[in-house]
Amino acid sequence: GAGVSQTPSNKVTEKGKYVELRCDPISGHTALYWYRQSLGQGPEFLIYFQGTGAADDSGLPNDRFFAVRPEGSVSTLKIQRTERGDSAVYLCASSPDRISYEQYFGPGTRLTVT
Amino acid sequence: GNSVTQMEGPVTLSEEAFLTINCTYTATGYPSLFWYVQYPGEGLQLLLKATKADDKGSNKGFEATYRKETTSFHLEKGSVQVSDSAVYFCALLSSNDYKLSFGAGTTVTVRA
């Protein structure tokens, strides 16, 4: 079956602009996660959704970052007033439920802020 | 808090050489441990996992044993191939948690 998909695969934007990154999880997966991977680093947790609600957004770096999952499936990560330090690969993962050990990752969106 | 420390790369090997990537962790309780792999141009894939002490995870010729006494989960493969060239990440998941904690990754290049 289809895996986790993310769009766009690459996004180049100017400093100060607004961007949206989309994640389509595996069908039926109730848990969805966003991670950020900076160059030369491992992924770092941003936010976790169980169903439609953000159960834990403690990893979001500041209030310029926001994510939604209105129907419990597709999620959008939104970044306002982008800064050069936001440049990274943004990864989405999903799992069948909260206590599942395996998270299935998408290919990521590479965001470059110029 | 949770943390994972893995061997720094890059690592360059010849085909059929033995590969080991060290990983140690700090966590409360009894975490589950994972190795993820990222092939060039692809997303993170789970390579293997172990959920309790002394478990051995294995897949595609790779193995790692969960050692609670040394808080380690070293990855090994006896004979690498060019197709094993990738970035390898060690990760942990605390019990009753959902946030994976990753190491910084180790880039492995296998030459023919």
For B34-75, the pLDDT digits (tens) are: 999 999 888 899 999 999 999 999 999 999 999 999 999 999
By C-alpha distance, the chain A residue nearest B102 is A42
State the CB neighbour count (10 A cutoff) for residue B27. 19
State the CB neighbour count (10 A cutoff) for residue A73. 18
List of chain B residues whose C-beta atoms are within 8 Å of the C-beta of residue A45: 99-101
* Higher-scoring residue by pLDDT: B6, B7: B6
- Please determine, for residue B96, whether its predicted confidence score (pLDDT) is greater than 80: no
Q: Do B51 and A101 touch (CB under 8 A)?
A: yes
By C-alpha distance, the chain A residue nearest B42 is A107
A84: which 2 tokens? 């050069």
The one-letter amino acid at B110: V
CA distance B16 to chain A (A): 27
- DSSP SS3 for A86: helix
List of chain A residues whose C-beta atoms are within 8 Å of the C-beta of residue B102: 42-44
By C-alpha distance, the chain A residue nearest B44 is A105
Q: What is the pLDDT of residue A31?
A: 93
- Alpha-carbon distances, residue B98 vs A8, A113, B79 (angstroms): 26, 30, 34
List of chain A residues whose C-beta atoms are within 8 Å of the C-beta of residue B35: none
pLDDT tier for residue A108 given thresholds of 50, 70 and 90:
very high
Cis peptide before A25 (omega within 30 of 0): no
Instruction: Name which of B43, B46, B100 is nearest A106 (Cβ-Cβ).
Output: B43
Q: What is the pLDDT of residue A99?
A: 66
List of chain B residues whose C-beta atoms are within 8 Å of the C-beta of residue A49: none
**Could you report the per-residue pLDDT of A70-90, keeping only the tens digit for each?**
998 999 999 999 999 999 999
